[in-house]
Structure 1
Amino acid sequence: MSSLSPRWLQTVSELALRVVFVAGFLILLGLAIDRLRLIFLPLLAALILSAALLPAKHLLTRRGVNNAVAAIAVVISGLAVLGVIGYFTITTLTSEFADLEVDIEAGFTEVLQSIGDWAGVSDEQVDEAIDDVLESARGNADTIAGGVFSGVRIAAELLAGIILLAVLTFLLVKDAESMQRSIARRLGPDRRRNFLVLSSGLFDTLGKYFRGVTIVAFMDALLIGVGLVIIGIPFALPLAVLTFFGAFIPVLGAVLAGLAAFLIALATEGVTAALIVGGLVLAVQQIEGNVMAPFILGRSISLHPMLVILAVATGGALWGIMGAFVAVPLTAIAVSLLDFYTGTGRYASRKRARRAAIGPGPEE
């Protein structure tokens, strides 16, 4: 840039170059992650799962159990629990999916017909709109199912991902601390301190998030399931299972699970029961948001609802259901990195505490 150019033009040009560079980097990173999603998604899931399982391993090692044996026991137990939950979920939903789908469609139809009557729209127009919406929904469901669950190649990729998840989880649970120390030894004193603070904080955040969300999801499912049984709504168990997994997709998951319960109640038991179910769902969400989540999750992940919705939508668009599950933890990692490098949030005090605890590192 010529020295004769106005200073403001130089500043704007430099800023534009930085924006282009950052945008290009993010685009290339997104493309690389999309290409390597069969590796990236199991790795991220393994990081979350291992962070949640590490306290259990530490409990065993403090009682004198060998590190490798403790890691094997913890990982096998954790994966076994996930396997049982997965098997129970699949068998429960598949056994009643056809009837569940019919009732949801019936409830959706009744809602649209009521809106049509209120708006003065003819029944023929309402029926045509319903058919278009349901056809589009079925088409999207078929596309998702075809892209995720069908075909020998997809089955092989899924099996490979599960094996990779198990292996990575075991290695991280067994050797997380030694990996951290090994990397830290290769860094200079300042970078060593930063790395220790950042890596410990990220693992702590992921572990608290997964353990906390699992507890909150279980409580949500229990309250919704018991409430539906008391009200007398059919499919209480599948809806409770849907609520459990919906809790792992913040905001959107709860909305979809609650909407499904409302539509089924409307189709099977009428308007009064549907309104009671709607009140039940709202009450459970209030208990979760104001009692359970602050008490159990604390400030492990503090994200604005708009950011959560955008993250879940982006993750779902890129990687389907699995992307929606990992979107919030991945976003939390990015926000934690930003907090760390700007010296805000939890990391200012953690950095000072770590520096005071370990003192100046030895020169390499």
Structure 2
Amino acid sequence: MRLFGKVRTRRPQPGGPPADGSAPSPSSTPDRSLARAARMPRASSSAGRVSVRRMPERAKHAERDPFDVPRWLRRYGLMAWLLIGIVIVVAMVVFATTRIQAVFIAVFLALVITSVLYPVVSALARVMPRALATAVAMLGSLAVVAGILTYVISSVAGQWEDLADQFGQGIDDIFEFLETGPLPVHFTQAEIYDWINGLVAEAQEYVSQNAGTLAGQVLSNAGAVALIFTVLALSIFVTVFFLLRGGDMWRWFINQLPARSRESVHRAASSGWYTFAGYARGTVIIATADGALAFILLAIVGVPLAAPLAVLVFIGAFIPLIGAPAAMVIAAVVALAAGGIVDALVVTIGIALIGQIEGHLLQPLVMGRQVSLHPVVVALGVTAGTFLAGLLGAIIAIPLLAVVWAVYSALHVPDPPVEGELPDPRGIAEGVQRRRQRHNESADAAATEDSASVGGVRG
């Protein structure tokens, strides 16, 4: 073949056809398999048989790549790094939330109000425009809250003098009990008054020495009050748009995502919103029921400030496990100071009955299956939230845990559950020990056999 003026010929390959295209001769095509067989040592009779010895286990392990880790270690190591990444992301989110805590509280309140008023707005939107339905729902809820606050303030103003007299009488009863009661140590009224006057003098001295610091705290508290009103105004503003255009806002967000992930994100978010809305509505209903029952109980017993104490019970119901009982204990203390031990005992029994009604009737009936968290998870979540963010953390811990679990359940496809009894841990441990013992025995036997075979070859 001529290429750029030169003739290039093919070099004959060993075992291949000649370059001129003629048929290969038998002598020019050696059989490679026969050649390899000729080079291999033949097995002779049993007397001259070659002994093939096995490589010792230590040599096998010595030739292994030091960077070749087991497959299970690679898998769990990757899972550990993924878990570390998730923890870092969660920590960053928590840190960012603490920096804009007011905005977070406003959005959280807006979501709670939206979950409560959304069914009302949807029902009104069937007979009127949605904007008008939103306005009616918002104005109606604000009117209800304003009416309750007005009633509470008027009741406090009307019963304040009676409460002060009853409180003073309760203090005198306590002094009399300390002076003439069955306690082994008695205090005279003069000693008690001297002790109280000493405390008052120390308080006055502290105020005079720290007047500047206290003034700064007063100003900061005034700023906190202004911040509270700002958060409330922002939450109401956001709630209006959530009720009016919440669906359009969510549709816009979904359209910004890749098409392959829209369905899974929408499914997870819908499950989380269903859980959060159910928890918020259920908590509001249960808190209202607790407050109403507490008001009826305190009014029947004749405890003063029944309405403010009922509102306190309503607010405390938003803190799981400890909120409502703590508020009712305060009501029992007020009953003790105002009416004596009998009224306090009646209020305490009524508090226990209200707690039983809430736990065994209202919680299963209102919450249903929307929030299915174990009591241990609830207790740990409330405790962790309290340590991380104080009262706010105690309030938002349970809904956040419920939403996270709902999102995980929506995205995760579980394997079939385990049926029957689980193996006994003691039996599992004994089985592991037996397998380890058999492995060690087989390793020792293999090492002995290798040593014997090496010695035979050398001999």
> Taking structure 2 as the reference length, what is the TM-score of the superposition?
0.59
Give SS of 2:125's match. Answer: helix
1:30 aligns with 2:94: yes
Structure 1 position 283, deviation (Å): 0.9
Q: Corresponding residue for 1:60?
A: 124
Identify if the C-alpha distance between structure 1 residues 264 and 92 changes in structure 2 by more than 3 Å, giving closer, same or farther.
same
1:72 aligns with 2:135: yes
- Partners of 2:83 and 2:165 in 1: how far apart? 49
Indicate conservation of the 8 Å contact 2:155/2:305, yes or no.
no
Task: Give the 3 Å change call, closer, same or farther, for CA 209–96 of structure 1 in structure 2.
Answer: farther
Q: Counterpart of 2:334?
A: 264
Report the Cα distance in structure 2 between the residues aligned to 1:15 and 1:31, rounded to whole angstroms: 24
- Are the counterparts in 1 of residues 166 and 338 from structure 2 also a CA contact under 8 Å? no
CA-to-aligned-CA distance 1:187-211 (integer Å, 9 cap, x gap): 4555222233233333333333233
Measure how far apart 1:154 and its partner are.
2.0
Cα distance in 1, alignment partners of residues 166 and 384 from structure 2: 26
**CA 1:326–1:4 in 2, change beyond 3 Å: closer, same or farther?**
closer
Deviation at 1:338, TM superposition (A): 2.3
Residue 173 of structure 1: aligned partner = 243
Matched, 1:207 2:277: yes
Residue aligning to 1:284? 354
Aligned equivalent of 1:237: 307
Name the amino acid aligned to 1:239.
Answer: L
The residue type paired with residue 94 of structure 2 is: G
The C-alpha deviation readout for 1:82-139, integer Å capped at 9, x for no partner, is 4444555566668879959969x97xx99xx9xxx9999x99xxx9xxx9xx9xxx9x
**What residue in structure 2 maps to residue 21 of structure 1?**
85
User: Is 2:268 aligned against 1:198?
Assistant: yes
Q: Which residue of 2 aligns with 1:311?
A: 381
Alpha carbons of structure 1 residues 83 and 30: separation in structure 2 relative to 1, 3 Å: farther
Select which of 387, 406, 409 maps to 1:336: 406
Q: Distance in 2 between matches of 1:203 and 1:303?
A: 16
Contact 1:217 1:247 in 2 (8 A): yes
| Structure with more relative contact order (C-alpha pairs < 8 Å, separation 6 or more) | 1
SS where residue 278 of structure 2 aligns? helix
- Cα gap change, 1:309 to 1:95, in 2 (>3 Å): farther
Alignment partners' CA distance in 2, 1:208 and 1:101: 43
Deviation track 1:234-277 (CA, whole Å, cap 9, x = no partner) reads: 33322222211111112111220222223333344444433332
Correspondence for 1:252 among 307, 322, 326: 322
CA distance in 2, matches of 1:101, 1:20: 59
Q: Deviations over 1:335-354 (max 9, x none)?
A: 2222223246xxxxxxxxxx
Q: Percent identity?
A: 29
CA-CA distance at 1:61 after TM superposition? 1.8
Equivalent pair of 2:317/2:323 in contact (CA under 8 Å)? yes
Amino acid at match of 1:275: L
Does the C-alpha gap of structure 1 residues 43 and 10 become closer, same or farther in structure 2, counting only changes over 3 Å? same
| Mapping of residues 317-356 of structure 1, within 5 Å | 317-343=387-413
1:47 aligned partner, one-letter code: L
- Alignment partners' CA distance in 1, 2:125 and 2:327: 40
Q: Is the 8 A contact 1:51 1:204 kept in 2?
A: no
Partner secondary structure for residue 302 of structure 1 = coil
Partner of 1:353: none
| Distance in 2 of aligned mates of 1:343 and 1:93 | 55
Aligned counterparts of 1:191 and 1:8: Cα–Cα separation in 2: 30
Tell me if structure 1 keeps the 8 A contact 2:159–2:304.
no
> CA distance change for structure 1 residues 302 and 118 in 2, over 3 Å: closer, same or farther?
farther
Alpha-carbon separation, structure 1, partners of 2:393 and 2:218: 12
**Aligned-residue offset at 1:72:** 2.6
The one-letter amino acid of 2:116's match is A
**Bigger shift: 315-324 or 249-258?**
315-324
CA distances 1:23-42 after superposition (whole Å, capped 9, x unpaired) = 32222221111111111111
Query: Counterparts of 2:370 and 2:184 in 1: how far apart (Å)?
Result: 46
Q: CA deviation at 1:286?
A: 0.9
TM-score norm. by structure 1 comes to: 0.72
Offset, 1:19: 3.7
| Structure 2 unaligned regions, length at least 5 | 1-64, 204-215, 415-459
Is the 1:149–1:155 contact (alpha carbons within 8 Å) kept by the matching residues of 2? no
Partners of 1:225 and 1:240 within 8 A in 2: yes
